């Protein structure tokens, strides 16, 4: 019987910080990522692929703002921007993965599912925005935008500039998870929970409505992985292993980390918010919820023996 893996693609799999973000850039990056996914397909895994959307959603909102100022087009709410990004990113992943599979004489259906995720409208995150979206700005540029729009910005922990931050509520329920699992276990490759899912809440009984937020894609992916009983959860990022004392002379890469160690490192502030910390929390949530391993690594190390950092129960 085939195993089931959820693979959460990091931003680097779609768009790199030194790129303008053209569709050509993103297609090239996704093709390279899709080549690495073949390792899992050939290792007898069925796949559910999730992905981030921070830069893309930020660019959608910038384009919307320009359209509003120049042509009076109506503002696009953040939940609609997330849905928009799910559609076009899913299309790019589906197309490039299909290209790679055809080049390697493989054939599977690849299906993108627009995914809503239920959140609590009273989640404390709405009072403390922390999720970075969009491009990087200089300090001066971010201050000017704040003065003009009231948007909040935070400095990137790796010194790449300043990014707009928005609310990131906790995901509670993944919509259509039964169908996602059924399709994946039947051998289809499923793309779902893009950008953490479209945030929605019950404005009243039996009435869903979108809300202005971006859900952390790793945490939502972890919840999905638990709900569909995945055998493995891969979190892809731009570093091969999780490090403690990052960017210091005492930096140490970790091959293995128990959830107790992971929680202790979080308490010590070893992992930056908006960077590695959400990935660690997502890994902990999966391991606690499933009893199985999570692996945090870079795309080029995917599927390699001893590649990445393995998060385990004990």
Active site residues: 11-12, 131, 217, 279
HEC readout, 148-209: HHCCEEEECCCCCCEEEEECCCCCCEECCHHHHHHHHHCCCEEECCHHHCEEEEEEECCEEE
Q: Which residue has the tokens 């051998």?
A: 187
DSSP string, 76-104: PPHHHHHHHHHHHHHHHHHHHHHHHHHHT
Those residues whose C-beta lies under 8 Å from the C-beta of residue 215, and which sit 6 or more positions away, are 117, 119, 168, 169, 171, 195, 196, 197, 199
Distance, in Å, from the CA atom of 48 to the CA atom of 6, rounded to the nearest integer, reads 5
133, 79 Cβ separation under 8 angstroms: no
Strand 189-191 to 45-51 pairing: parallel
Report how far residue 257's alpha carbon sits from residue 313's, in angstroms, rounded to the nearest whole number.
9
Q: Nearest-5° angle of CA 268, CA 162, CA 214?
A: 75
Please name the helix (run of DSSP H) or strand (run of DSSP E) that holds residue 132, with its range, or none: strand 131-137
Name which of 88, 104, 77, 17 is nearest 51 in CA terms.
88
Query: Cα–Cα distance between 145 and 130 in angstroms, integer?
Result: 17
Place of tokens 């293995």: 256
């Amino acid at each position: 019987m085939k195993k089931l893996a959820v693979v959460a693609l990091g931003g680097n799999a779609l768009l790199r910080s030194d790129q303008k973000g053209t569709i050509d850039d993103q297609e090239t990056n996704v093709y390279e990522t899709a080549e690495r996914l073949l390792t899992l397909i050939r290792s007898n895994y069925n796949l559910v692929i999730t992905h981030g959307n921070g830069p893309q959603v930020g660019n959608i909102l910038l384009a919307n703002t320009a359209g509003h100022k120049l042509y009076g087009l109506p503002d696009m709410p953040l939940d609609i921007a997330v849905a928009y990004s799910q559609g076009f990113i899913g299309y790019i992943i589906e197309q490039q993965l299909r290209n790679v599979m055809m080049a390697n004489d493989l054939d599977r259906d690849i299906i993108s599912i627009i995914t809503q995720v239920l959140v609590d409208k009273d989640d404390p995150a709405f009072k403390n925005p922390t999720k970075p979206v969009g491009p990087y700005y200089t300090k001066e540029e971010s201050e000017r935008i704040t003065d003009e729009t009231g948007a909040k910005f935070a400095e990137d922990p790796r010194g790449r500039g300043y990014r707009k931050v928005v609310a990131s509520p906790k995901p509670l329920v993944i919509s259509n998870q039964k169908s996602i699992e059924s399709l994946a276990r039947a051998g289809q490759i499923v793309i779902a929970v893009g950008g953490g899912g479209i945030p929605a809440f019950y404005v009243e009984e039996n009435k869903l409505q979108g809300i202005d937020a971006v859900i952390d894609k790793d945490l939502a992916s972890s919840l999905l992985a638990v709900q569909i009983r995945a055998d493995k959860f891969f979190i892809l990022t731009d570093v091969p292993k999780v490090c403690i004392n990052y960017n210091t002379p005492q930096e140490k890469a970790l091959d293995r980390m128990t959830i107790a160690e992971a929680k202790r490192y979080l308490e010590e502030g070893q992992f930056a918010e908006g960077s590695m910390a959400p990935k660690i929390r997502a890994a902990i949530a999966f391991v606690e919820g499933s009893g199985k391993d999570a692996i945090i690594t870079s795309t080029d190390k995917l599927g390699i023996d001893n590649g990445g950092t393995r998060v385990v129960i004990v």
